[in-house]
Chains A and B, each alone.
Chain A
């Protein structure tokens, strides 16, 4: 197991493995997102309170989940880089940040678009919305920190430290709707008892969530390959890879 992990973590191996995985992941992403959209917009029934307007849930909720999931992945990769000095982990963390920031932005925008007709406000400063906005600022800070420091290794360390500090925000986002009075409603799917969403709506939602996860996997590997190639451009394997 350990030797296998070390093999994966060597840049040329990772580069080749990621290259082989990307096309499959891309095809699966397309299929799942298409199925989720058709199921969510076409087959899923309208909500008893919100009518067709609730269908934005199929983009809003998976985006919000991804914004937190990618942050945790990025923080773990950062920790691995800090502790074991694995270059591939740093490359993955760096490649994750812009994707995570995009999903956070998407969650905030779709939330605003949903909030205006249903709540009557684009934005309110309740704990859920505010903590998600802080997450966006964390992502932007990490991206800025990376590009502000010339030396790749130092930039990676600094970004890893900041992303580890910011991890404290993830449980705050999740539990904000239980700890404080918020305008945002409580959790629907992740409640310990049965989810408060009808199965005909839950299935497309979960399909979309899986599609979004694979979209992240596809794009993060693509970005990581590019970054790895540019970082290792002096080494023989990179020259060979860029020629072929």
Chain B
């Protein structure tokens, strides 16, 4: 039979392990429960104005403009209900393009323009060959419409 001390140590180790894992999870989730805010949340004033936060949504089609320096870009992030104009200076990821999902980290200025320090691309859960995507496009339906995407925003 094991001694009381050993049993106590055993319980301690388990509690410590579970505690550490749970603490880690909850700290991470509290800060990132929402990894990003949507333009609708921003316009509703839910985003922390004046602090750094992440803004996520689709890059509005036709909104992408490059400045003369070749590095600074202007675009708008939209969730189809609201839009937030964004300025970013830096290298964009490969998948960054109009109509695709994106998550930008930065601050909202007093003029309502979001100054991004970091821009990440977010892709959706659809995978298909280019020919199929082209066929869907010419058929007038986005890939999402045909593959049955739930219409959830990225």
Contacts and interface: CB of A to CB of B under 8 A. Distances in A.
Given A46-B129, A50-B95, A54-B127, A120 B120 contact: yes
Interface string B12-43: 01100110110011001101111111100000
Interface string B112-140: 00000011111111111111111000000
A49 interface: yes
A48 B125 CA distance: 12
Interface string A106-143: 00000000000111110011110011001001100100
A162 B17 CA distance: 8
A154 to B, nearest CB: 6
A47 B31 contact: no
Helix, strand, loop or mixed for chain B's interface?
mixed
B148 A196 contact: yes
A31 B145 CA distance: 37
Nearest to A135: B21
A208 interface: no
B127 A141 contact: no
Interface string A154-193: 1000100110011001001000000011110111100101
A196 B25 contact: no
Nearest to A149: B10
B148 A194 contact: yes
Contacts of B91: 120
Given A46-B130, A127-B29, A185-B122, A138 B21 contact: yes
Contact of B24 (A126, A134, A200, A201): A134
Contacts of B126: 188, 196-197
A193 B100 CA distance: 22
A130 B28 CA distance: 7
Given A48-B132, A201-B127, A154 B21 contact: no
A181 B34 CA distance: 5
Given A118-B95, A124-B35, A134 B123 contact: no
B36 A181 contact: yes
A150 B118 CA distance: 50
Contact of A162 (B18, B25, B37, B93): B18
A181 B129 CA distance: 27
A197 B135 CA distance: 15
A186 B124 CA distance: 7
A130 B25 CA distance: 7
B2 A130 contact: no
A120 B121 contact: yes
A57 interface: yes
A171 B95 CA distance: 29
A39 B102 CA distance: 31
Q: For B17, B93, B152, which residue has the most chain A Cβ atoms within 10 angstroms?
A: B17
B149 interface: yes
Interface of A: 45-50, 54, 57, 117-121, 124-127, 130-131, 134, 137-138, 141, 145, 148-149, 151, 154, 158, 161-162, 165-166, 169, 172, 180-183, 185-188, 191, 193-194, 196-198, 200-201
16 contacts: A49-B95, A50-B127, A57-B127, A118-B95, A119-B121, A125-B35, A127-B28, A138-B17, A148-B13, A151-B2, A154-B10, A172-B25, A183-B120, A185-B122, A185-B125, A194-B147
Given A120-B119, A134-B25, A183-B120, 16 more contacts: A117-B94, A118-B123, A121-B120, A125-B32, A127-B35, A130-B25, A130-B29, A138-B17, A161-B14, A180-B35, A181-B34, A191-B148, A194-B148, A196-B127, A197-B127, A198-B128
The 3 closest A-B pairs by CB, nearest first: A120-B93, A45-B129, A48-B133
